[in-house]
């Protein structure tokens, strides 16, 4: 999910209700639902929530379906969780939502998510491990040795010898690769 949102919709955005008007750069709006409660049985279910990353709280505003302005446009019962600032890219967040009715807590919900990148944002370069390419040769050599052993057990001498030769070749490639990686 993208970490930043600039909400813009009609007749208003949920952020308008909590001082974050249309066009304000916020974290991505999250929509939380309370399942298993019939709206006619619980018309006044309210929500409160927290959001954190690594134990550090994020400033969050909550607009639930009891809101007089936009509650009629929302599924019942539900809540928008609106981080006041854009979220960090490639970061794990945890949200806790407490659902209440007439002051009594009904249910507590916890979920986590990881943000992605904003469109057009430069992706962090992926660093390749130096030994990864060399390890590929070593794995191939081990696999070939296992297959050669299986061929030997099934009395397939020519196949076993050919696989053993290939395994030796891959082992030499791995050794040369490791030596070359140390020099570079």
Q: Could you please report the per-residue DSSP string of 112-151?
A: EEE----TTPPPPPPPPPHHHHHHHHHHHHHHHHHHHHHH
Query: Does residue 121 fall inside a structural domain?
Result: no
Query: Does residue 107 fall inside a structural domain?
Result: yes
Contact 77, 63 (CB under 8 A): no
Of 112, 97, 105, give the one whose Cα is nearest residue 48: 97
Residues 12 and 102 in one domain: yes
Q: What is the pLDDT of residues 40-89, one digit of tens each?
A: 666 789 999 999 999 999 999 999 999 998 888 888 899 999 999 999 99
Looking at 81, 114, 147, the residue that finishes a domain is 114
Tell me what the mean pLDDT of segment 96-114 comes to.
92
Residue 10 has pLDDT above 70, yes or no: yes
pLDDT of residue 87: 96
Distances (CA, A) of 98 to 24, 62, 93, 138: 26, 11, 17, 53
Query: Does residue 124 fall inside a structural domain?
Result: no
Look up the domain containing 34 and give its range: 4-114
pLDDT of residue 61: 97
pLDDT of residue 129: 55
Residues 149 and 83 in one domain: no
Residues 169 and 94 in one domain: no
Task: Find the angle CA(94)-CA(7)-CA(15) to the nearest 5 degrees.
Answer: 70
pLDDT band (50, 70, 90) for residue 3:
very high
Query: Does residue 16 fall inside a structural domain?
Result: yes
Residue 184 has pLDDT above 70, yes or no: no
Contact 83, 27 (CB under 8 A): yes
Residues 93 and 138 in one domain: no
Residues 137 and 110 in one domain: no
Query: Does residue 119 fall inside a structural domain?
Result: no
Residue 130 has pLDDT above 60, yes or no: no
Query: Does residue 9 fall inside a structural domain?
Result: yes
Entry field: residues in the chain: 184
**Both structure tokens of 43:** 């018309």
Residue 174 has pLDDT above 80, yes or no: yes
Of 34, 38, 10, 33, give the one whose Cα is nearest residue 22: 10
pTM for this predicted structure: 0.64
Percent helix, strand and coil across the chain, each rounded to 5? Answer: 30, 30, 40
pLDDT of residue 161: 92
Tell me how crowded residue 121 is: count the other CB atoms within 10 A of its CB: 12
Query: Domain count of the chain?
Result: 2
pLDDT of residue 183: 60
Tell me how crowded residue 29 is: count the other CB atoms within 10 A of its CB: 16
pLDDT of residue 182: 67
CATH number, residue 30:
2.60.40
Tell me what the mean pLDDT of segment 24-47 comes to.
85
Query: Does residue 167 fall inside a structural domain?
Result: yes
């Amino acid at each position: 999910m993208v970490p930043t949102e600039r909400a813009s919709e009609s007749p208003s955005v949920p952020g308008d209700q909590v001082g974050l008007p249309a066009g304000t750069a916020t974290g991505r709006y999250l929509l939380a639902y309370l399942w298993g409660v019939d709206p006619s049985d619980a018309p006044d279910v309210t929500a409160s929530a927290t959001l954190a990353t690594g134990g550090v709280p994020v400033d969050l505003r909550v607009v639930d379906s009891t809101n007089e302005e936009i509650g009629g446009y929302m599924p019942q019962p539900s809540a928008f969780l609106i981080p006041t600032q854009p979220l960090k890219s490639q970061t794990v967040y945890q949200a806790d939502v407490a659902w209440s009715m007439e002051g009594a807590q009904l249910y507590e919900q916890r979920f986590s998510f990881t943000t992605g990148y904003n469109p057009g944002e430069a992706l962090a370069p992926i660093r390749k491990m130096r030994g990864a390419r060399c390890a590929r040769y070593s794995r191939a050599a081990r696999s070939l040795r296992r297959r050669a052993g299986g061929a030997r057990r099934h009395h397939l001498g020519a196949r076993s010898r050919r696989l053993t030769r290939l395994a030796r070749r891959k082992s030499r490639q791995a050794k040369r690769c490791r030596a070359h990686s140390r020099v570079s």
